[in-house]
Amino acid sequence: MPIAIVDYGSGNIRSAAKALEAANKNLKIVVTSDPSVIKKSDKIILPGQGSFRDCYLGIKKINGLIDALNDFVLFKKKPIFGICVGMQLFAKVGYESKETIGFGWIDGVVKKINNINKTLKLPHMGWNQIEFKKDYMLFSGIENKSHMYFVHSYEFLTKQKDCIVATTNYGNSIIAAIAKDNIFGTQFHPEKSQKNGLKLLKNFLDWKF
């Protein structure tokens, strides 16, 4: 079965597909919005670029896609990797533009980064270090405090501390990666993070869950 990148018009599909192909040339990577293909896939990548609301509504517009994703993640319990807003969509609700429900796979919310005394530039854009909060197999072979590439103005907030795998610092501590069972996501863009990003994608593709 292929590895599916969910195409719902989020904008960064091509670079994600190229990075996955570079990470493992032996696997079949498909870009699709077809719920039946997604259900049959071994793993899926959920990218995201733009606002939380636009991304969720983009998914909602495709008939059967929300049901297919819930079936894949909650019932079949197959691995999913959410990138940037794709990770944010794991939350219960997002507050970008207008309050919008998310998938609710992880008990969290998405809010604007706290711009302390208006001293921070938003979006948080460029290279920043990540700090591991626990050992996690998908970061195998990647050194703690490695640099990853970020582009975001909103952050994922959760009281489920056991789901926080890595953080970064931008005025405050910001969640950089979360995980819960078969669900994994990063606020940074692995497809733009060069060697470390490719290693992370390879680890996900090799993941035996």
CA nearest neighbour of 139 among 89, 178, 107, 82 = 178
Q: What are phi and psi of 45, to 5 degrees?
A: -110, 130
Residue 11: half-sphere exposure toward Cβ, Cα within 13 Å: 11
Element housing 87 (H / E): helix 85-88
Cβ–Cβ < 8 Å for 30, 67: no
Which residues are part of the catalytic machinery? 84, 189, 191
In total, the chain counts a number of residues equal to: 209
Rounded CA separation 140/39 (Å): 28
Judge contact between 153 and 51, C-beta under 8 A. Answer: no
The span from the CA of 117 to the CA of 82, in Å, is 31
Task: Determine the Cα–Cα distance for residues 152 and 1; give it in Å rounded to an integer.
Answer: 33
